[in-house]
Amino acid sequence: MADTQRDDAFVEFERVQKSYDGEILVVKDLNLALPKGEFLTMLGPSGSGKTTCLMMLAGFETATHGDIRLNGESINNIPPHKRGIGMVFQNYALFPHMTIAENLSFPLEVRNIGKSDREAKVKRALDMVEMGDFGGRRPAQLSGGQQQRVALARALVFEPELVLMDEPLGALDKQLREKMQFEITDLAHNLGITTVYVTHDQTEALTMSDRVAVFDDGRIQQLAPPDELYEQPQNSFVAQFIGENNTLVGVVTKIEGDTCEVKLDSGEIIDAKPVNVGAVGDRTTVSIRPERVEIDPELGPDAHTLSAEVLEFIYMGDTFRTRLRVAGNSDFIVKTRNRADQRRYARGDTVKIGWLPQDCRALDA
């Protein structure tokens, strides 16, 4: 899937391909355009091509075919240090023998910036990440979170218009990672920096991004804002990869306008929204999010109801998570909010579940 080329594009990939061995393409015919100031996340499993795209943009890898442009200028033949791009990696890549201030000063010295300007920029960058008092320390004297802040400050110190981040929070614990997610997005938006962020963590992608490009098998499967990606997946891969998802499989028996009828392999007939289906008689995967399903539903006459067997009922604090056997699927999940009147279910209970047809999407098999 391609993003149409845009007049306001600041970063552009046009028909970009990459092969390491001359045969297998790890990036296939990529078209992607980012306007200035956007925070775009490249999300996907290992080997999907997302990091290769980032490395081609940085200049550490060369595109086998196609053009990469920055602000309208082709950068294919410009070496990394002349692209003016800030980089943040998971392993921080700080110089252990230098102080924090010297680490930040280094990219400014390379650019021949005078001493007093360097000192002012280093101070400003350290203050931005709340590390102003740490300039005299060495990296080994800092925690992982502090080192990551310094790595971020070093990427911002020369005031680049574009910053690339490759799994920068992967080594941090959950609480610190969540705190840093908000700090990074706040900083990027406040400074108006265009950011390309690579992760395999869906929650990180959904909470941080203006748009997310979901990669699989060297292609963008869907490019959309986080809510659209979650609520309106365009194919089975995106539906399964982003958040939790229930699937039921069957055959399309009727298509009328924006509704199709599906006969499940277990025999039940349900209606769904035909998003990515072929013709009548084709197999399909029906996708429903766990929070869109109700147990003992009160959804009105349009709702679908199916019989289900409770396999697990798990208390999770703010929610209950019920695992059911539904139409042959023994891993069907329903999430319900913890309410005072919530009925508790036991293993083996038979219940009715239901959902609205518009919450149910028929996708590729």
- Output the pTM of the full model: 0.88
Same domain for 227 and 259?
A: no
Same domain for 225 and 271?
A: no
Task: Using the CB atoms, write b or e for 178-196: b if 16+ within 10 Å.
Answer: eebbebbbebbeeeebbbb
Q: Which pair of tokens denotes residue 257?
A: 């306008």
Domain with residue 204: its CATH number is: 3.40.50.300
Same domain for 202 and 344?
A: no
Q: Which of 201, 236, 271 is the last residue of a domain?
A: 236
Residue 55 lies in a domain: yes
Same domain for 209 and 92?
A: yes
User: Shortest CA distance to 98 belongs to which of 60, 130, 142?
Assistant: 142
Number of structural domains (the chain) is 2
How far, CA to CA in Å, does 218 sit from each of 53, 184, 196, 197, 215?
9, 27, 17, 17, 6
Same domain for 223 and 77?
A: yes
Same domain for 57 and 97?
A: yes
Residue 2 lies in a domain: no
Same domain for 215 and 259?
A: no
Domain with residue 356: its CATH number is: 2.40.50.140
What is residue 92's predicted lDDT score, i.e. its pLDDT?
65
Q: Which of 236, 258, 273 is the last residue of a domain?
A: 236
Residue 4 lies in a domain: no
Residue 272 lies in a domain: yes
Same domain for 22 and 144?
A: yes
Contact 117, 142 (CB under 8 A): no
Q: Which pair of tokens denotes residue 362?
A: 């028929």
Cα 20 to the center of its chain, rounded Å: 25
**E strands of the chain, at which residues?**
9-19, 25-35, 39-43, 65-70, 73-74, 85-89, 162-166, 194-199, 211-216, 219-224, 246-256, 259-264, 269-274, 283-288, 294-295, 304-315, 319-326, 329-337, 350-355, 360-363
Q: Can you give the length of the chain in residues?
A: 365
Contact 185, 212 (CB under 8 A): no
What is residue 275's predicted lDDT score, i.e. its pLDDT?
93
Residue 322 lies in a domain: yes
Read off φ and ψ for residue 272, nearest 5 degrees. Answer: -150, 170
Per-residue confidence in pLDDT tens, the chain, 365 aa: 445 455 679 999 999 999 998 889 999 999 999 999 999 999 999 989 999 999 999 999 999 999 999 999 999 999 988 898 998 887 767 888 999 999 999 888 888 888 888 889 898 889 888 888 898 999 989 988 888 888 888 888 888 889 999 988 887 788 888 888 988 899 899 889 999 999 999 999 999 999 999 999 999 999 999 999 999 999 999 999 998 999 999 999 999 988 999 999 999 999 999 999 988 989 999 999 999 998 887 767 777 789 999 999 999 999 999 999 999 899 999 999 988 888 889 999 999 998 988 899 999 98
Contact 333, 290 (CB under 8 A): yes
Residue 312 lies in a domain: yes
Domain hosting residue 298, numbered range = 244-363
Same domain for 119 and 210?
A: yes
SS3 at position 350: strand
Same domain for 193 and 175?
A: yes
Contact 87, 226 (CB under 8 A): no
Residue 201 lies in a domain: yes
Q: Which of 236, 270, 285 is the last residue of a domain?
A: 236
Residue 345 lies in a domain: yes
Q: How far apart are CA 92 and CA 169, in angstroms?
A: 10
Same domain for 14 and 31?
A: yes
Same domain for 286 and 353?
A: yes
